[in-house]
Homo-oligomer: A and B are copies of this chain.
Amino acid sequence: MRHLLLITALLFSFSLTAKEHPCLLLTPKGVKEIKTSLGKLPYFDQSYQTIKDEADKAMGVKMDIPTPVDGGGGYTHEQHKRNYISMFNAGAVYQVSGDAKYAKYVRDMLMEYAKVYSTWGEHPAKKNNPSGKIFWQTLNDFVWLVHVSHAYDCAYNGISAADRKEIEDKLFRPMVEFIMYGNDGANERTFNMIQNHGTWATAAVGMIGYVMDDKDLTDKALLGTKKDGQAGFLRQVDEMFSPDGYYAEGPYYLRYAIWPFTLFAQVIDNNQPEQKIFQRRDGILLKAVDAEMQMMYNGEVLYLNDALKKTILTQELVWAVDIAYAANQKNTNLLNIAGRQERVMICDAGITTAKALKNHKMQPFESVSHLFRDGANGDQGAVSILRYGKEPKQTALVMKATTHGGSHGHYDKLSFSFYDNGNTILQDYGAVRFLNIEPKYGGHYTKENNSWGKQSISHNTLTVDETSHFNAVTKTADQFWSEQLLYDVTPDVQVTAAKDMNAYPNVQMQRTMALVTHASAEQPFVIDIFRAKSEQAHTYDFPFYYMGHMVSVDFEYTPFTTEQRALGNSNGYQHLWLEAQGTTTKPTACFTLVNADRFYSITTLANDKSEFMFTRLGAGDPNFMLRHDAGFMLRQKEASNHTFVTVVEPHGDYNLNNEYTLGYASNIDQLKLEVDNDTYSAVTVKMKNGNTYLLLVCNNNTDKNAAHSLDVNGKKYDWTGAYKLIVTTPQIP
């Protein structure tokens, strides 16, 4: 019903007057604003100068529209990329400068493309994905058309009607025909997919549709080739994000997906404002931009699932920030990002952002504690982020209990990572890939991404019997998700809890993590309760991949100093060198490291079945694809029902400028699991200064209003809600 109304609105909404140009990302109003602001807004001026320089440079060399031959990274591939970027830049410069030579450049190149496009057949370097005409896969053709639509729109008024007809007839119309219906129907399936590639396809067709004022094309872009709303951009908006703006593949791919979403949304808003696209689904697109910004640590995207180093400085996030800010100018927090990006896009949203930046007092970006639910309805697990303090020194704990995320998903149920003082302390490795570096497996995901990056053992979570979650089978993993049980943020403590019943057929896992921020603590610290339940005995591996240098441990170990071996031969274990191993007779084991000017201790419960391993990544890596990162791992042998209790604790001050060191040793005097059953867990952390933190957790009822009562060491505690932190500080006598 909702769809039907929208369709009706859509079909009657087109204006009958002649289309003004530009009309996509730049409009006559925006161009006017840019012209009057030029020379007054440093970021805008600089950004404009950059694209102008690039356009001038491109126009200084001989035009080259090669017959498509090469795959990604090869010559013809890169040349067609250069071509669309050059036209894209030249188009914008034409609008701002009014200099006809830039329009002519776009026109000339498009006329050349128009001459040859129809002569190109299936791409010879076609791989698994459907073949494009210009590139080896259709995705790149979509991206080409998104950029070129903008270029054509900008140059439109500088190209004669006859030339435009030639270009549209010989290039754009055959191209949209191919994009929507080519490859024997495969392209239509892609176009109508509720997926990333579909978004690029609909954006491409929609954008050239608006430029050519072709309602049939824009309707198909918005509603699918059948125009019934079962496919198309609007449905993608409705289904591809969780209600919190989360994207199942994780923030690394959200960053990429958000590009066509924000671009095309802006285009729709300029051409069909009545769509209220930015308000759609409670403003989901703007939420997604915010979600992306929040799923970072100090401007770097969190390494969840397949992820490489990406920051707020990437071009797609410059687009996203400019457009999202322009769409909701109350969101001044985005200006803090825009200021750090130090560039804007040459479009209406870019000039709006640049103007706002001029009078904006830069603040650190406010990244806050947030629960990002997964699934279109928000009921398929979540990523929880607990934060304390402000960037760049903020403390952040990230726990992942989501859906799998398809081919980019990792087998990392209930894994976590920890950041503090501006640094990654306990890492998620991310993906094993050297994007765009041809000698590193063609720049693709490496084999080691499967054999290490995705495996459970590469994450800070539980691996059972040296086997990954779901046996590392995507098809299985995609059918399940973890259940987010609890998420609560208070001034003294922030708590998240989730469980997973499916990753291992015979082992149930539940993890409760608390970031204790109570004023009595030297620094915020983490209490981690990980419950594994099983009826059989297993080997439980529980690693911590740390960044920094080992300082000390409180147990004996045997180092392997002249010869070392890989820890295993499959499921990721073949990539770990075993550097040392030890045991303890104490009830806890403590591992301390230093990173920058702070110390960190991992204190964990131990018994006579606990073994401690020092691992180093890099075994089984003939092509040197892996970083040689270090790990501290607790191996619990012959375990069935076992609860791991760990405190991760920043402490001390390692001051190299004034040469002093404070607090290099853990503050913890005692860590105890006082109660542990299916209903309750109770953990005591006693510090050396006498402060005691008792965390009471209800394991099977997260009702905020439920009343609980528990006896701990002969003392009775009553509370309401799923958990309670009780802090006791010694009385000064």
Q: How many copies does the complex hold?
A: 2
Interface segment out of the listed A10-18, A329-337, A345-353, A431-439: A431-439
Q: Which of B78, B563, B627 contacts A564 (CB 8 A)?
A: B563
When chains A and B are docked, how far (Å) is the Cα of A308 from the Cα of B309? Answer: 28
In the assembled complex, A65 has its CB within 8 A of some CB on chain B? no
The 9 closest A-B pairs by CB, nearest first: A439-B552, A436-B661, A559-B622, A550-B624, A314-B657, A313-B657, A561-B620, A562-B566, A563-B565
Residues in B with CB closer than 8 Å to A657 are 311, 313-315
Q: Which residue of B lies closest to A659 (CB)?
A: B436
Q: Are B437 and A622 in contact (CB under 8 A)?
A: no
Q: Which of A587-642 contact B (CB under 8 A)?
A: 592, 594, 614, 616, 618-624, 627-628, 630
Q: Are B314 and A661 in contact (CB under 8 A)?
A: no
In the assembled complex, A656 has its CB within 8 A of some CB on chain B? yes
Provided the pairs A440-B551, A659-B435 are in contact, do residues A621 and B561 lie with their beta carbons within 8 angstroms? yes
Q: Which of A159-216 contact B (CB under 8 A)?
A: none
Chain B nearest CB from A600 CB (Å) reads: 13
Would you give the 0/1 interface string for A403-441, flagging 1 where the beta carbon is closer than 8 Å to chain B?
000000000000000000000000000000011111110
Q: Which of A532-579 contact B (CB under 8 A)?
A: 549-552, 559, 561-566, 569, 574, 577, 579
Q: Which residue of B lies closest to A623 (CB)?
A: B559
When chains A and B are docked, how far (Å) is the Cα of A325 from the Cα of B388? Answer: 41
Q: Which residue of B lies closest to A314 (CB)?
A: B657
In the assembled complex, A264 has its CB within 8 A of some CB on chain B? no
Interface size on A, residues (CB 8 A): 57
In the assembled complex, A310 has its CB within 8 A of some CB on chain B? yes
When chains A and B are docked, how far (Å) is the Cα of A440 from the Cα of B315? Answer: 44
Q: Are A654 and B550 in contact (CB under 8 A)?
A: no
Q: Are A619 and B561 in contact (CB under 8 A)?
A: yes
Residues in B with CB closer than 8 Å to A574 are 561-562
Q: Are B437 and A309 in contact (CB under 8 A)?
A: no
Q: Are A314 and B563 in contact (CB under 8 A)?
A: no
Chain B nearest CB from A488 CB (Å) reads: 35
Q: Are A436 and B551 in contact (CB under 8 A)?
A: no
When chains A and B are docked, how far (Å) is the Cα of A728 from the Cα of B701? Answer: 79
Residues in B with CB closer than 8 Å to A314 are 656-659
Residues in B with CB closer than 8 Å to A438 are 661, 664
When chains A and B are docked, how far (Å) is the Cα of A315 from the Cα of B659? Answer: 9
Would you give the 0/1 interface string for A640-672, flagging 1 where the beta carbon is closer than 8 Å to chain B?
000000000000001011111100110000000
Chain B nearest CB from A433 CB (Å) reads: 12
Provided the pairs A549-B624, A628-B628 are in contact, do residues A436 and B561 lie with their beta carbons within 8 angstroms? no
Chain B nearest CB from A601 CB (Å) reads: 11
Residues in B with CB closer than 8 Å to A437 are 551, 594, 654, 661, 664
Q: Are B309 and A621 in contact (CB under 8 A)?
A: no
Residues in B with CB closer than 8 Å to A78 are 660
Residues in B with CB closer than 8 Å to A620 are 561-562
Q: Can you list 12 A-B pairs with a CB-CB distance of less than 8 A?
A: A78-B660, A314-B657, A314-B658, A315-B659, A436-B661, A437-B661, A438-B661, A439-B664, A562-B574, A564-B564, A564-B619, A580-B622
Q: Which of B310, B577, B659 contacts A656 (CB 8 A)?
A: B310
Residues in B with CB closer than 8 Å to A309 are 656
In the assembled complex, A121 has its CB within 8 A of some CB on chain B? no
In the assembled complex, A73 has its CB within 8 A of some CB on chain B? yes
Q: Which residue of B lies closest to A622 (CB)?
A: B559
Residues in B with CB closer than 8 Å to A549 are 434, 624, 627
When chains A and B are docked, how far (Å) is the Cα of A353 from the Cα of B314? Answer: 39
